[in-house]
Structure 1
């Protein structure tokens, strides 16, 4: 059995011990991952018009498909187009960054609350053991062991797996956008 199979098996075994409420929270976190990825794609996509306006605003200004938008915004001259596009670009970046922070907060909070739930479950099972088992052990060592193991699960399994899944979702979204826009250049 190789390393990746053992990690996958550990995750499957861990999943069985997580409550249904936490599982649904993990599902909501996955939806948030997708939203964050889409925001990243939009912020990357906003870079091209921003650079286009900075380098050659006349190209954007003379584009027939953009005329209705420019007319709606009341932009009549080329020098008026830089500010709205810059503001739009900054807004896209701020929204993407804010969503990334919300995802980081949510994944950390969910990981630690899941670890606390697992620790409580382990402690509860320990409490319901026979009296003879309790008198043969030091209770502070039991509690310390439970806290240590729960923290190891959080730090070594939950947080890295959530980070990995989030990164994979983001890479897939960005690569899909690049392939959709320009398949030949994206493959190179």
Structure 2
């Protein structure tokens, strides 16, 4: 895993790696926003279904008194507006995060495809006689996008979701420790079994797809 990450990082220069670090920082805030959005739903539902909880819960009671609300209905309206505002801000931030992430990754994909294409064009005629042009086209048009969109971009998305799951996991641990541990063991075991069963099959299918893709381009060129 570490070797794969190092190879992928070699595709980026020092300046571009700083951009990747920016994505990572934005990713952490995205995970926190997602967790905040999920974490606020349960308290809001509790307030809406049982307004008396405002006086029973210490934190809610402090907010109620500090902001000088006259009634629980006023506090409920305030909670609705606050929840909507938080969700709007959260979604705007996530939109910005996805835009920045995709722009950085896809620009690097275009750059590498262009560099690889120029490298092939600079090769002597003898090199092209010894190589299958379909494979060269496949490398530029398919393999590079697979690396950036199928591995790097999906990897960032997976990391983002993992951070969200971790934050939610911590939140659940605080509220229900035993139930969270049991559910985590069951879910983790299922994921482990799935990975053990299908990992080799997926690897073989990927290699087969790569071979078939090269042959298809070759046949199109010959036709």
Same fold (TM over 0.5): yes
Deviates more, 1:28-37 or 1:41-50: 41-50
| Alignment map for 1:140-151 (pairs within 5 Å) | 145-151=139-145
Provide the rounded CA distance (Å) in 2 between the counterparts of 1:98 and 1:166.
16
Q: Deviations over 1:51-89 (max 9, x none)?
A: 121111122035454444223433121222110111122
What SS does structure 2 have at the residue aligned with 1:74? coil
Q: Is the 8 A contact 1:18 1:118 kept in 2?
A: no
Q: Deviations over 1:82-134 (max 9, x none)?
A: 10111122222223333332232222222211212222332343355457547
Q: Is the 8 A contact 2:112 2:144 kept in 1?
A: yes
What SS does structure 1 have at the residue aligned with 2:69? coil
| Alignment map for 1:10-159 (pairs within 5 Å) | 10-130=4-124, 133=127, 145-159=139-153
Q: Is the 8 A contact 1:37 1:173 kept in 2?
A: yes
RMSD between aligned residues: 2.9
Q: 1:60 to 1:122 in 2, by over 3 A?
A: same
Paired residue total = 182
Deviates more, 1:47-56 or 1:127-136: 127-136
Deviates more, 1:61-70 or 1:75-84: 61-70
C-alpha displacement of 1:181: 3.2
TM-score, reference length from structure 2: 0.68
| Alignment map for 1:158-169 (pairs within 5 Å) | 158-169=152-163
Gap runs ≥5 in structure 2? 183-223
Aligned counterpart for 2:172 among listed residues 135, 154, 178? 178
What SS does structure 1 have at the residue aligned with 2:12? coil
Q: Is the 8 A contact 2:35 2:168 kept in 1?
A: yes
Q: 1:144 to 1:67 in 2, by over 3 A?
A: closer
Divergent runs of 4+, >6 A = 134-141
Deviates more, 1:36-45 or 1:144-153: 144-153
